[in-house]
Chain A
């Protein structure tokens, strides 16, 4: 990392093995990882901690990723403007547009490989700048 402090990522996905895979890849690259299983849990996490990046899946129980993002962007949490990468099984342009409209900075198609994940995460955390 450019300034030495580990970047903190909140991984929001209800699939256990996806979160495990991302955690392994991101921690090996020096990120610190917190997990949430759905959008509601993510909102709760964001009340109490700060992060440098969100990785948000779309399809989750209780609250999907886009509803979560909209709530985050429209609300007045300090983290409202945090960079967010939406991950999805869907590649259709309309789905991408929906995610961007909801507040995504980046959109990645699942399944994500470890290298690509780390690359995008570094980019979005601004680790290449400064």
Chain B
């Protein structure tokens, strides 16, 4: 292209430390009081940075939860849920669980994703969530349960299949059992098929689950 390339234009005139445009934070991250204030009355950008800072401040859980209840901006909401997931105290988990029940589908999604990110911190709550009065919550609980080690997850699902009145919750449990692939789920699956003879989708799902479990049980275990 050119015979004498000039790269000198590319040398930054200063070392690579710049303040990014748009930050309100200085060099030091804000403290809990500043975070609370920003969450309450800050601009979108300020609420975003406050939400991110809250992740290392476990005494901001209540403020984060309050902010989540009113936040309309999706990226700020995402950062707020990340904060709760990172804090992962019983208090932050309780806060997330409340949002599982929201009428707003995007809030429910945010809560479910945050719980999944918390992994084992959230698992002690699984049993209660699987018995929740709200069927949607029970479905979301199945999503959490399926990430548990299979020796814990499978008994939860088998118990659910024997007692659950809602076909959609059973469907979620069956989906998980198909992936987990453990033979001890077969009797519960068979009983569930009997209970839901009138629901063709469940019959299909159970058949697929049984096939997958049988092919996984056939070979020698690793």
Contact = CB atoms under 8 A, between A and B. Distances in A.
Direct interface between A and B, CB < 8 A: yes
Interface of A: 15-18, 20-21, 24, 58-67, 89-90, 94-95, 98, 110-114
B167 A64 contact: no
B106 interface: yes
Interface stretch (B133-141, B155-163, B180-188): B133-141
B109 A59 contact: yes
Contact of B105 (A18, A67, A110): A67
B205 interface: yes
8 contacts: A17-B174, A17-B209, A21-B201, A59-B105, A64-B105, A89-B135, A111-B201, A113-B199
Contacts of B201: 18, 21, 110-114
A15 B172 CA distance: 7
B145 to A, nearest CB: 14
B113 A62 contact: yes
Contact of A111 (B105, B113, B116, B171): B171
Given A17-B178, A17-B208, A89-B139, A60 B109 contact: yes
Contacts of B143: 61
Contact of B202 (A62, A63, A111): A111
Closest 3 CB pairs of A and B: A64-B105, A111-B201, A89-B168
B112 interface: yes
B178 A64 contact: no
Contacts of B194: none
Given A16-B178, A20-B208, A61 B103 contact: no
A66 B205 CA distance: 26
Interface in B172-220: 172, 174-175, 178-179, 199-202, 204-205, 208-209
Contact of A94 (B103, B106, B172, B174): B103
B36 interface: no
Nearest to B199: A111
A17 B171 contact: yes
Interface in B108-124: 108-109, 112-113, 116
Nearest to A61: B113
From A58, A64, A66, A94, name the one whose CB has the most chain B CB atoms within 10 angstroms.
A64
Contacts of B208: 17, 20
Interface string B65-108: 00000000010000000000000000000000000000101101
Interface string B125-139: 000000000011001
A98 B106 CA distance: 12
A36 B205 CA distance: 19
